Amino acid sequence: MSNNTQHFNSADFQSQVIDSKVPVLVDFWAPWCGPCRVLGPTIDEVADQFDGRVKVGKVNVDENPDLGQTYQVRSIPTVLVFQDGKVVAQLVGAQPASQYASELEKALANTPAT
């Protein structure tokens, strides 16, 4: 796993994701999910590509079922992009890195400079 990929949980989700000043890509996954494991290196690639500009992390839905329920995650992997505390993109199933990068670029384009 990339050093740039974080792990979010119920205790830190508000501070790390909702209150973030930069866009956040969150991969909702579980260790038993084959497609989730296949997606892992792609998420790490995106985290490395956007290092310093966005946050990229994972939520284990088995360990944090409340977050999966709150964001209506019906199947995994589901990747959500948050901006200003709101979901601005949802991608279900494994996608190519370019698709995640495109959604993050859109979010960055709509983020005011600090």
* Residue 69 structural domain: 5-109
Is 36 labeled as catalytic in the residue annotation? yes
Q: Is residue 24 part of a domain?
A: yes
Is 33 labeled as catalytic in the residue annotation? yes
Q: Is residue 75 part of a domain?
A: yes
Tell me the per-residue pLDDT of 16-72, one tens digit each, with 9 for 90 and over: 999 999 999 999 999 999 999 999 999 999 999 999 999 999 999 999 999 999 999
In the sheet that holds 86-92, the strands lie side by side as 5-7, 55-60, 24-29, 78-83, 86-92
CB 44 within 8 A of CB 2: yes
pTM for the model stands at 0.95
Q: Is residue 87 part of a domain?
A: yes
Q: Is residue 114 part of a domain?
A: no
The domain tally of the chain equals 1
Q: Is residue 39 part of a domain?
A: yes
What is the CATH number for 101? 3.40.30.10
Catalytic residue among 22, 30, 33, 97: 33
Judging by beta carbons within 10 Å of its beta carbon (0-12, 13-18, 19+), is residue 30 exposed, middle or buried? middle
Catalytic residue among 17, 24, 26, 36: 36
